[in-house]
Structure 1
Protein backbone atom coordinates (compact mmCIF):
# COMPACT_ATOMS: atom_id res chain seq x y z
CA UNK A 1 0.00 0.00 0.00
CA UNK A 2 2.80 2.43 0.89
CA UNK A 3 4.58 1.51 -2.35
CA UNK A 4 1.46 2.47 -4.34
CA UNK A 5 1.18 5.83 -2.55
CA UNK A 6 4.90 6.59 -3.06
CA UNK A 7 4.72 5.54 -6.71
CA UNK A 8 1.60 7.68 -7.27
CA UNK A 9 3.17 10.68 -5.56
CA UNK A 10 6.35 10.34 -7.65
CA UNK A 11 4.31 10.00 -10.82
CA UNK A 12 2.39 13.24 -10.17
CA UNK A 13 5.50 15.08 -8.96
CA UNK A 14 7.54 14.07 -12.01
CA UNK A 15 4.61 14.87 -14.28
CA UNK A 16 4.37 18.36 -12.77
CA UNK A 17 8.15 18.82 -13.05
CA UNK A 18 8.02 17.76 -16.71
CA UNK A 19 5.22 20.24 -17.37
CA UNK A 20 7.14 22.98 -15.56
CA UNK A 21 10.34 22.27 -17.47
CA UNK A 22 8.62 22.30 -20.86
CA UNK A 23 6.85 25.59 -20.05
CA UNK A 24 9.96 27.30 -18.72
CA UNK A 25 12.18 26.34 -21.68
CA UNK A 26 10.26 27.87 -24.59
CA UNK A 27 13.42 29.26 -26.12
CA UNK A 28 15.11 25.90 -26.61
CA UNK A 29 18.60 26.40 -28.05
CA UNK A 30 18.77 26.46 -31.83
CA UNK A 31 21.70 24.59 -33.32
CA UNK A 32 22.94 25.88 -36.68
CA UNK A 33 23.88 22.34 -37.77
CA UNK A 34 20.19 21.33 -37.47
CA UNK A 35 19.06 24.00 -39.99
CA UNK A 36 18.45 22.55 -43.45
CA UNK A 37 17.30 25.77 -45.17
CA UNK A 38 16.68 29.42 -44.43
CA UNK A 39 14.34 31.96 -45.99
CA UNK A 40 13.87 35.64 -45.25
CA UNK A 41 11.39 38.04 -46.75
CA UNK A 42 10.36 41.61 -46.09
CA UNK A 43 7.46 43.83 -47.08
CA UNK A 44 8.00 46.67 -49.50
CA UNK A 45 5.28 49.28 -49.93
CA UNK A 46 5.08 51.08 -53.28
CA UNK A 47 2.66 53.40 -55.07
CA UNK A 48 1.54 53.12 -58.65
CA UNK A 49 -0.72 56.04 -59.41
CA UNK A 50 -3.21 56.29 -56.58
CA UNK A 51 -2.91 52.60 -55.63
CA UNK A 52 -0.63 51.20 -52.93
CA UNK A 53 0.99 47.80 -53.26
CA UNK A 54 2.78 45.49 -50.87
CA UNK A 55 5.41 43.23 -52.39
CA UNK A 56 7.29 40.56 -50.46
CA UNK A 57 10.98 40.71 -51.30
CA UNK A 58 13.29 37.77 -50.65
CA UNK A 59 16.43 38.58 -48.71
CA UNK A 60 19.51 36.42 -49.03
CA UNK A 61 21.09 35.58 -45.68
CA UNK A 62 24.74 34.57 -45.60
CA UNK A 63 26.17 32.14 -43.07
CA UNK A 64 27.33 35.01 -40.85
CA UNK A 65 23.77 36.42 -40.75
CA UNK A 66 22.37 32.98 -39.87
CA UNK A 67 24.96 32.45 -37.12
CA UNK A 68 24.21 35.91 -35.66
CA UNK A 69 20.43 35.37 -35.71
CA UNK A 70 20.78 31.98 -34.01
CA UNK A 71 23.13 33.43 -31.37
CA UNK A 72 20.81 36.38 -30.71
CA UNK A 73 17.76 34.14 -30.26
CA UNK A 74 19.72 31.69 -28.10
CA UNK A 75 20.98 34.53 -25.87
CA UNK A 76 17.51 35.66 -24.76
CA UNK A 77 16.98 35.08 -21.03
CA UNK A 78 13.71 33.51 -19.85
CA UNK A 79 12.76 36.87 -18.30
CA UNK A 80 12.56 38.40 -21.83
CA UNK A 81 10.19 35.72 -23.18
CA UNK A 82 6.40 35.92 -23.12
CA UNK A 83 4.35 32.94 -24.31
CA UNK A 84 1.30 33.68 -26.45
CA UNK A 85 -1.69 31.61 -27.56
CA UNK A 86 -1.43 33.23 -30.99
CA UNK A 87 0.07 36.24 -32.72
CA UNK A 88 -2.38 39.13 -32.19
CA UNK A 89 -4.72 39.53 -35.18
CA UNK A 90 -4.02 43.28 -35.48
CA UNK A 91 -0.29 42.63 -36.00
CA UNK A 92 1.20 43.75 -39.30
CA UNK A 93 4.31 41.67 -39.97
CA UNK A 94 6.98 43.58 -41.90
CA UNK A 95 9.72 40.93 -42.10
CA UNK A 96 10.20 37.28 -41.34
CA UNK A 97 12.77 34.49 -41.27
CA UNK A 98 12.07 30.76 -41.44
CA UNK A 99 14.59 28.16 -40.34
CA UNK A 100 13.57 24.76 -41.69
CA UNK A 101 15.15 22.02 -39.61
CA UNK A 102 16.44 18.62 -40.67
CA UNK A 103 13.76 17.09 -38.42
CA UNK A 104 11.06 18.59 -40.72
CA UNK A 105 10.16 21.09 -38.01
CA UNK A 106 10.55 24.85 -38.33
CA UNK A 107 11.34 28.03 -36.43
CA UNK A 108 9.59 31.13 -37.74
CA UNK A 109 10.80 34.58 -36.59
CA UNK A 110 8.53 37.50 -37.45
CA UNK A 111 8.87 41.23 -36.81
CA UNK A 112 6.21 43.98 -36.79
CA UNK A 113 8.49 47.02 -36.16
CA UNK A 114 7.87 46.67 -32.43
CA UNK A 115 7.93 43.04 -31.37
CA UNK A 116 9.69 39.88 -32.42
CA UNK A 117 7.39 36.83 -32.58
CA UNK A 118 8.73 33.30 -32.69
CA UNK A 119 6.64 30.31 -33.74
CA UNK A 120 8.24 26.91 -33.27
CA UNK A 121 7.16 23.40 -34.11
CA UNK A 122 10.24 21.74 -32.60
CA UNK A 123 9.13 22.11 -28.96
CA UNK A 124 6.27 20.12 -27.43
CA UNK A 125 3.57 18.82 -29.74
CA UNK A 126 1.98 21.31 -32.09
CA UNK A 127 3.34 24.83 -32.20
CA UNK A 128 4.60 27.23 -29.56
CA UNK A 129 4.37 31.01 -30.01
CA UNK A 130 6.20 33.60 -27.93
CA UNK A 131 7.72 37.06 -28.11
CA UNK A 132 11.30 37.88 -27.28
CA UNK A 133 13.05 41.08 -26.40
CA UNK A 134 16.39 41.05 -28.26
CA UNK A 135 17.87 44.40 -29.32
CA UNK A 136 20.49 43.07 -31.80
CA UNK A 137 17.87 41.08 -33.72
CA UNK A 138 15.51 44.08 -33.71
CA UNK A 139 18.34 46.25 -35.10
CA UNK A 140 19.04 43.63 -37.79
CA UNK A 141 15.40 43.72 -38.90
CA UNK A 142 15.31 47.54 -38.77
CA UNK A 143 18.41 47.72 -40.98
CA UNK A 144 16.83 45.32 -43.50
CA UNK A 145 13.66 47.43 -43.54
CA UNK A 146 15.28 50.82 -44.29
CA UNK A 147 13.16 52.63 -46.88
CA UNK A 148 10.58 49.82 -47.15
CA UNK A 149 7.56 52.07 -46.55
CA UNK A 150 6.99 53.99 -49.79
CA UNK A 151 10.72 54.77 -49.90
CA UNK A 152 10.59 56.35 -46.46
CA UNK A 153 11.98 55.10 -43.19
CA UNK A 154 9.04 54.11 -41.05
CA UNK A 155 11.63 52.53 -38.75
CA UNK A 156 12.58 55.05 -36.09
CA UNK A 157 16.24 55.68 -35.37
CA UNK A 158 17.28 54.70 -31.84
Structure 2
Protein backbone atom coordinates (compact mmCIF):
# COMPACT_ATOMS: atom_id res chain seq x y z
CA UNK A 1 0.00 0.00 0.00
CA UNK A 2 2.78 2.42 0.95
CA UNK A 3 4.60 1.53 -2.27
CA UNK A 4 1.53 2.45 -4.33
CA UNK A 5 1.24 5.82 -2.55
CA UNK A 6 4.94 6.52 -3.17
CA UNK A 7 4.63 5.53 -6.85
CA UNK A 8 1.53 7.72 -7.20
CA UNK A 9 3.27 10.68 -5.57
CA UNK A 10 6.34 10.28 -7.81
CA UNK A 11 4.13 9.99 -10.90
CA UNK A 12 2.17 13.10 -9.87
CA UNK A 13 5.37 15.04 -9.14
CA UNK A 14 7.00 14.06 -12.43
CA UNK A 15 3.83 14.93 -14.32
CA UNK A 16 3.74 18.38 -12.72
CA UNK A 17 7.47 18.81 -13.28
CA UNK A 18 7.12 17.86 -16.96
CA UNK A 19 4.30 20.39 -17.37
CA UNK A 20 6.38 23.05 -15.59
CA UNK A 21 9.41 22.33 -17.78
CA UNK A 22 7.28 22.48 -20.93
CA UNK A 23 5.67 25.81 -20.03
CA UNK A 24 8.85 27.43 -18.76
CA UNK A 25 10.78 26.47 -21.89
CA UNK A 26 8.30 28.09 -24.25
CA UNK A 27 9.83 31.45 -23.42
CA UNK A 28 13.46 30.44 -23.93
CA UNK A 29 14.99 33.42 -25.66
CA UNK A 30 16.34 33.01 -29.19
CA UNK A 31 19.90 34.31 -29.55
CA UNK A 32 20.71 35.86 -32.96
CA UNK A 33 24.39 34.96 -32.49
CA UNK A 34 23.41 31.26 -32.34
CA UNK A 35 21.78 31.32 -35.81
CA UNK A 36 24.08 29.83 -38.45
CA UNK A 37 21.72 30.17 -41.42
CA UNK A 38 18.21 31.27 -42.29
CA UNK A 39 15.77 30.03 -44.91
CA UNK A 40 12.37 31.47 -45.79
CA UNK A 41 9.86 30.28 -48.34
CA UNK A 42 6.33 31.25 -49.25
CA UNK A 43 3.56 29.66 -51.30
CA UNK A 44 2.42 31.15 -54.58
CA UNK A 45 -0.79 29.91 -56.18
CA UNK A 46 -1.00 30.17 -59.97
CA UNK A 47 -3.25 28.92 -62.75
CA UNK A 48 -1.85 26.95 -65.66
CA UNK A 49 -4.46 25.93 -68.17
CA UNK A 50 -7.31 24.37 -66.25
CA UNK A 51 -5.19 23.53 -63.20
CA UNK A 52 -3.99 25.34 -60.15
CA UNK A 53 -0.42 25.03 -58.94
CA UNK A 54 1.45 25.89 -55.79
CA UNK A 55 5.07 26.94 -56.12
CA UNK A 56 7.31 27.55 -53.13
CA UNK A 57 9.43 30.66 -53.56
CA UNK A 58 12.60 31.25 -51.57
CA UNK A 59 12.86 34.62 -49.86
CA UNK A 60 16.20 36.13 -48.87
CA UNK A 61 16.07 37.74 -45.42
CA UNK A 62 18.48 40.54 -44.55
CA UNK A 63 20.08 40.90 -41.11
CA UNK A 64 17.63 43.60 -40.00
CA UNK A 65 14.68 41.33 -40.83
CA UNK A 66 16.28 38.42 -38.95
CA UNK A 67 16.95 40.67 -35.94
CA UNK A 68 13.35 41.93 -36.02
CA UNK A 69 11.88 38.42 -36.26
CA UNK A 70 13.97 37.23 -33.31
CA UNK A 71 13.02 40.33 -31.30
CA UNK A 72 9.32 39.90 -32.09
CA UNK A 73 9.32 36.25 -31.02
CA UNK A 74 11.32 36.99 -27.85
CA UNK A 75 8.94 39.83 -26.93
CA UNK A 76 5.85 37.61 -26.81
CA UNK A 77 4.60 37.30 -23.23
CA UNK A 78 4.01 33.85 -21.75
CA UNK A 79 0.26 34.47 -21.84
CA UNK A 80 0.39 34.62 -25.65
CA UNK A 81 2.32 31.32 -26.03
CA UNK A 82 0.14 28.24 -26.26
CA UNK A 83 1.80 24.82 -26.17
CA UNK A 84 0.66 22.22 -28.70
CA UNK A 85 1.34 18.52 -29.10
CA UNK A 86 1.45 19.00 -32.88
CA UNK A 87 0.43 21.45 -35.57
CA UNK A 88 -3.21 20.69 -36.50
CA UNK A 89 -3.43 18.42 -39.55
CA UNK A 90 -5.91 20.69 -41.33
CA UNK A 91 -3.46 23.62 -41.27
CA UNK A 92 -2.41 25.06 -44.63
CA UNK A 93 0.96 26.75 -44.19
CA UNK A 94 1.49 29.73 -46.50
CA UNK A 95 4.96 30.85 -45.40
CA UNK A 96 7.75 29.65 -43.18
CA UNK A 97 11.15 30.55 -41.81
CA UNK A 98 13.80 28.17 -40.49
CA UNK A 99 16.61 29.34 -38.25
CA UNK A 100 19.34 26.72 -38.34
CA UNK A 101 21.43 26.97 -35.19
CA UNK A 102 25.15 26.42 -34.70
CA UNK A 103 24.27 23.51 -32.39
CA UNK A 104 22.64 21.60 -35.28
CA UNK A 105 19.17 22.29 -33.89
CA UNK A 106 16.53 24.50 -35.53
CA UNK A 107 13.68 26.90 -34.90
CA UNK A 108 10.88 26.70 -37.45
CA UNK A 109 8.31 29.52 -37.76
CA UNK A 110 5.22 28.77 -39.86
CA UNK A 111 2.23 30.94 -40.77
CA UNK A 112 -1.20 29.87 -42.02
CA UNK A 113 -2.75 33.36 -42.50
CA UNK A 114 -4.22 33.16 -38.99
CA UNK A 115 -1.75 31.61 -36.56
CA UNK A 116 1.99 31.59 -36.14
CA UNK A 117 3.41 28.19 -35.18
CA UNK A 118 6.85 27.79 -33.64
CA UNK A 119 8.59 24.41 -33.64
CA UNK A 120 11.84 24.24 -31.70
CA UNK A 121 14.33 21.42 -31.41
CA UNK A 122 16.75 23.50 -29.32
CA UNK A 123 14.88 22.95 -26.05
CA UNK A 124 15.76 19.89 -24.02
CA UNK A 125 15.81 16.65 -25.96
CA UNK A 126 12.48 16.80 -27.68
CA UNK A 127 10.61 18.99 -30.09
CA UNK A 128 8.47 21.80 -28.64
CA UNK A 129 5.56 23.25 -30.62
CA UNK A 130 3.56 26.32 -29.70
CA UNK A 131 1.61 29.18 -31.21
CA UNK A 132 2.25 32.84 -30.58
CA UNK A 133 0.20 35.95 -31.08
CA UNK A 134 2.56 38.65 -32.38
CA UNK A 135 1.17 41.43 -34.57
CA UNK A 136 4.47 42.64 -36.06
CA UNK A 137 5.45 39.14 -37.17
CA UNK A 138 1.97 38.53 -38.60
CA UNK A 139 2.22 41.85 -40.52
CA UNK A 140 5.66 40.82 -41.83
CA UNK A 141 4.25 37.55 -43.18
CA UNK A 142 1.18 39.30 -44.62
CA UNK A 143 3.42 41.76 -46.47
CA UNK A 144 5.51 38.90 -47.85
CA UNK A 145 2.34 37.12 -49.03
CA UNK A 146 0.77 40.10 -50.82
CA UNK A 147 -0.76 38.83 -54.08
CA UNK A 148 0.29 35.20 -53.49
CA UNK A 149 -3.15 33.69 -54.09
CA UNK A 150 -3.72 33.77 -57.85
CA UNK A 151 -2.50 37.37 -57.82
CA UNK A 152 -5.01 38.34 -55.15
CA UNK A 153 -4.67 38.98 -51.45
CA UNK A 154 -6.11 36.20 -49.35
CA UNK A 155 -4.76 37.52 -46.08
CA UNK A 156 -7.42 37.50 -43.37
CA UNK A 157 -7.65 40.91 -41.73
CA UNK A 158 -10.07 41.48 -38.88
* TM class by smaller structure: 0.7 to 0.9
CA deviation vs aligned residue, 1:20-73 (integer Å, no higher than 9, x gap): 244223131000000000000000000011100000000000000000000000
Report if aligned partners of 1:22, 1:124 keep a CA contact under 8 Å in 2. no
Unaligned runs of 5+ in 2: 1-11
CA–CA distance in structure 2, aligned partners of residues 43 and 93 of structure 1? 8
CA–CA distance in structure 1, aligned partners of residues 22 and 50 of structure 2? 51
CA–CA distance in structure 1, aligned partners of residues 17 and 83 of structure 2? 18
Q: How many residues align?
A: 148
Report if aligned partners of 2:114, 2:156 keep a CA contact under 8 Å in 1. no
CA deviation vs aligned residue, 1:64-91 (integer Å, no higher than 9, x gap): 0000000000000000010000000000
Matched, 1:90 2:77: no
TM-score by length of 1: 0.87
Runs ≥4 residues deviating over 3 A: 12-19
The aligned counterpart of 1:142 is: 142
CA RMSD of aligned residues (A): 2.0
The aligned counterpart of 1:45 is: 45
Structure 1 segment 32-111 matched on structure 2, within 5 A: 32-111=32-111
Q: CA deviation at 1:16?
A: 5.6
Unaligned runs of 5+ in 1: 1-11
Report if aligned partners of 1:120, 1:129 keep a CA contact under 8 Å in 2. yes
Structure 1 segment 106-145 matched on structure 2, within 5 A: 106-145=106-145
Could you say what secondary structure the match of 2:26 adopts?
coil
Closer, same or farther: CA 92–13 of 1 in aligned 2, 3 Å: closer
Q: CA deviation at 1:14?
A: 10
Closer, same or farther: CA 22–157 of 1 in aligned 2, 3 Å: closer
Could you say what secondary structure the match of 2:28 adopts?
coil
